A and B are shown apart, each in its own frame.
Chain A
């Protein structure tokens, strides 16, 4: 007897079956729909984080500025970083992983489709929970442990608070004890700590899902070393998440205990250690950096070969370099703490470890250049962004080496030099890479190609704006502009380059308007892409655009890396690619085949329970923030009941709802032995 047969088939809970409209999105377990939702949500948060950045830049454009109050300024840089890291780059990468991993390994969905939906909804409600701090959160002036309170000015002005200031203001790094119960009283930092806790849970769940998917659901012949580099990098990221998220989860629980229940893990007043928080935070935080960059590196490794019309140079070196970066990434966290007073032995060791990361990073950059070398480069929009990535990331990598030189870092740390460095790797790197991916895979979503003229305007404006914003920050930092500085004195001479950076930031913002218009317009009126708009190499392009719900009409059998390329091209005696005479017919056949599955395809059924289970979590967490009141206790109970009863509903949910085939005839037969609903 199979496990399937033991599951109850008679239903109290009928599984939803909408394929269109709002319900189909709320109950979907389709990796593509989930990926799209991740993408739009990430972009929405990108706009919020970008708006916060513009407020900061506008403020900093003049010395002794009072455009924002100190409280609002601190809140804006905290929320800008928190948003960009946790609510933009991570979910945007998750969007690509969700949409592409099954397509690239030739699967119909991820290993655990409902779990996938759960992780998306947890992320979504976590983001809303975090941002609800603007409505519910409070920030007040610090109170010293002996009960002496700091003061705010009455009646407006720079020393007062406004609604913007009533959001988390302890920095995205939440250094203790400043972000602890005494020096950041009010609930805003609780929203931050608990919001990140929820969002981390989403990452943890999807990491397990992706690892199992990649290890178990690859198409026939898709050996590990035939997987596209993007899939490889996503897998590496999933392992990074799996090992690093628990660390921050523990640390955030400790902070929550400190803040809510009077624990003193990080409070020196009770014998706690504030530096312990830094170790925990960066032990998560440095792998996090690679969580943010590796997916973009994967995207670039897909885009460069296609538009160079050559295979990726040193495929296995690129893959192993990615894994090496991730591995080393767990051994360098204390380079964020070179000025914290750790021993010289520790400083030297972490400095050397940090330098070694430059080696695999260099390997990647050189192999990308090796890919382009001798190729026939087509400067399409995705290619421009990918080249931009290589160039900007190189600059960020080089400035990174100057931080590994520990004494040099003593001068640079906590200045704008660092801000410049990590924006070169995170914006110049990750964000350029993500845009390369958006332009490249847009046809898979829509069956259209994004307008290239507007795309190029977007690229050149973003590239110029980016460099105008962040290049001067190197100089500002070396001239002593410390980070998180609400005011700087005019005598420091920092103003002119701050003005330049602000102008650059608004150029970036303008380029985003062009992108959004282009996206909107190309979806409606774009040129049809056909099956293979880019003359691509990997198997996700062997199926029609937009991707059919079932992905592959027939499971592919893969015989080589760049499988699709070998459909279309032979090599002559010199090793040069020669397009097969019947390549166009092959493509036309693939399209026909992909659109017309021979037999009915079984897909996992939608489910109500992922969204229900997810919605209970923020309710519990609201309850924790207000746990001293009756309402708080009630909220904890309500949330727990929702989540736990959904869990039970999930467990006893029937695997398959017999549904009528499209012609209205007999229902589909039950699937045999395949537990597709899990």
Chain B
């Protein structure tokens, strides 16, 4: 008697092998197409891990590709064997053919496929462990930058140069920089894929991440740990510049910004800044020191605005968006910060458009 399962068989019996092969070809073709698209057809974006720009990221990239190629070889061996099996050992519906041998296992094979993977893993483990130790911690002579995570922006303090800035970290090329990191509120995770892997910013603790770039340029970063409502807008930039450019940047940042005279457009903006409550969170250092507004580092604070316009991005490096000018973005931001950055600690101050325009003039003068 024909067993009942026979009627539920997939159309894989002899006469129906063709549709199966067609389907198989179509599917594997699609899969190949997709894979090749993803490797060939796509440009690397600014957050890609495939374009390391420094020795640390480079070392990681090498490890990734080593593992990738080993995994790829194993993938094709296993999948190849699987596909061959599915074709060769399929039930061809030949009732005369004897049923398979009832093999229960093979001790030798078990040893083989225990030992070989173990050896492969050991081969991967050696460079892994050495890289872990080589890439953790900082050299004593590296330049220090203190990174503090806030909901939702990164603050940078250069202790040796006495500079406070935000969102954009500027570092000299070829110099190891030690990011000493902590958080003012929740967990954050500092990640600039071109320079190194990720490292947490933990409130109450200090973590270290060394950054080093061997080419100049602007590299994108992102907070990688979920840190609340606007986690996705907590981004970062690292500008890598030559040593002389860096020195120039340092001396510019160390200077206070000029106190605008009353009656000038900048002066009107400054009035908005002082009258609308911005002074509660934002530090600005003026050349007339008595006018400077300095927020204690331990208190709740927003980004230091002394050199606001020296940075090409703001609002956690999430603005301006693509297709927006700097002014447009600033205007939208000042009009309603929480609508752009949900949960934002910068409230909607109900500024009139005149006040916003004045503020922008003043902010843009803080080069």
Contacts and interface: CB of A to CB of B under 8 A. Distances in A.
Interface of A: 64, 69-71, 74, 141-142, 144, 146, 148-154, 157-160, 169, 171, 175, 177-178, 183-184, 268, 271, 273-275, 308-311, 313-317, 339-341, 344, 347-348, 351-352, 355-356, 358-359, 362-363, 365-367, 369-370, 372-381, 383-384, 387, 390-391, 394-395, 398-399, 401-402, 404-415, 449, 452, 456, 460, 464, 467-468, 471-472, 474-475, 478-494, 496-497, 500, 527, 529-530, 532-535, 569, 571-572, 574-579, 584
B91 A376 contact: yes
B22 interface: no
Interface stretch (B125-133, B158-166, B259-267): B125-133
A533 B342 contact: no
A70 B86 CA distance: 47
Given A275-B202, A340-B202, A359-B118, A571 B341 contact: no
Interface string B223-245: 11111111111010000000000
A150 B342 CA distance: 8
Given A339-B197, A406-B128, A70 B342 contact: yes
Given A480-B47, A484-B226, A178 B187 contact: yes
A274 B187 contact: yes
Contacts, number: 406
Interface in B188-208: 189, 191, 193, 196-200, 202-205, 207-208
A274 B337 CA distance: 29
A351 B228 CA distance: 29
18 contacts: A70-B230, A71-B342, A74-B226, A74-B231, A142-B229, A144-B185, A160-B339, A311-B102, A359-B121, A377-B90, A381-B8, A401-B121, A407-B128, A408-B64, A415-B224, A493-B45, A576-B101, A578-B99
B34 A472 contact: yes
B157 interface: no
A80 B59 CA distance: 36
B238 to A, nearest CB: 14
B251 interface: no
B229 A351 contact: no
Given A153-B338, A479-B49, A480-B45, A148 B300 contact: yes
B191 A482 contact: yes
B5 A380 contact: yes
Contacts of B79: 391, 394
B10 A380 contact: yes
B63 A407 contact: yes
Interface residues of B, number: 121
Contacts of A157: 339
A374 B343 contact: no
B85 A478 contact: no
Given A377-B91, A379-B10, A380-B8, 7 more contacts: A142-B185, A369-B81, A398-B74, A407-B135, A411-B193, A478-B49, A577-B102
B340 A410 contact: no
A314 B342 CA distance: 56
A24 B86 CA distance: 46
B105 A69 contact: no
Which are the 10 A-B pairs with shortest beta-carbon distances? A410-B197, A480-B47, A268-B204, A379-B10, A153-B339, A159-B339, A341-B207, A493-B45, A314-B105, A70-B342
Contact of B60 (A369, A411, A534): A411
A378 B98 contact: no
B50 interface: yes
Contacts of A341: 199-200, 202, 205, 207-208
Interface stretch (B108-116, B270-278, B304-312): B108-116
A578 B9 CA distance: 21
Interface stretch (B139-147, B285-293, B344-352): B344-352
B341 A159 contact: yes
Contacts of B3: 535
Contacts of A415: 224
Interface stretch (B36-44, B167-175, B355-363): B36-44
A413 B151 contact: no
B248 interface: no
A69 B342 contact: yes
A401 B48 contact: no
Please indicate which of the listed interface residues A314, A380, A474, A490 has the most CB atoms of chain B within 10 Å of its own CB.
Answer: A314
A309 B99 CA distance: 7
Contacts of B50: 478-479
Given A347-B136, A390-B82, A414-B189, A159 B338 contact: yes
A275 B186 CA distance: 11
A479 B339 CA distance: 28
A412 to B, nearest CB: 8
Contacts of B214: none
B125 A411 contact: no
Given A142-B151, A274-B187, A410-B198, A370 B109 contact: yes
A474 to B, nearest CB: 8
Given A171-B226, A527-B7, A576 B196 contact: no
Nearest to A340: B200
Interface string B57-82: 10110011001100100110011011
A401 B124 contact: yes
A151 B49 contact: no
Contacts of B232: 70, 482, 484-488
Contacts of A584: 1
A296 B81 CA distance: 22
A577 B99 contact: yes
Nearest to A527: B7
B363 to A, nearest CB: 20
Contacts of A160: 339, 342
Contacts of A391: 79, 82
Contact of B102 (A316, A365, A535, A576): A576
A151 B97 CA distance: 74
Contacts of A152: 338, 342-343
B327 interface: no
Nearest to B30: A464
A489 B344 CA distance: 19
Contact of A407 (B34, B60, B336): B60
Given A347-B132, A406-B132, A533-B5, A467 B31 contact: yes
Contacts of A492: 45-47, 220
Interface in B87-103: 89-91, 97-103
A475 B113 contact: no
A407 B59 contact: yes
A315 B185 CA distance: 52
A648 B347 CA distance: 56
A352 B86 contact: no
B27 interface: yes
Contacts of B34: 467-468, 471-472, 500
Contacts of B128: 348, 351, 404-408
Contacts of A378: 5, 9-10, 91
A183 B12 CA distance: 58
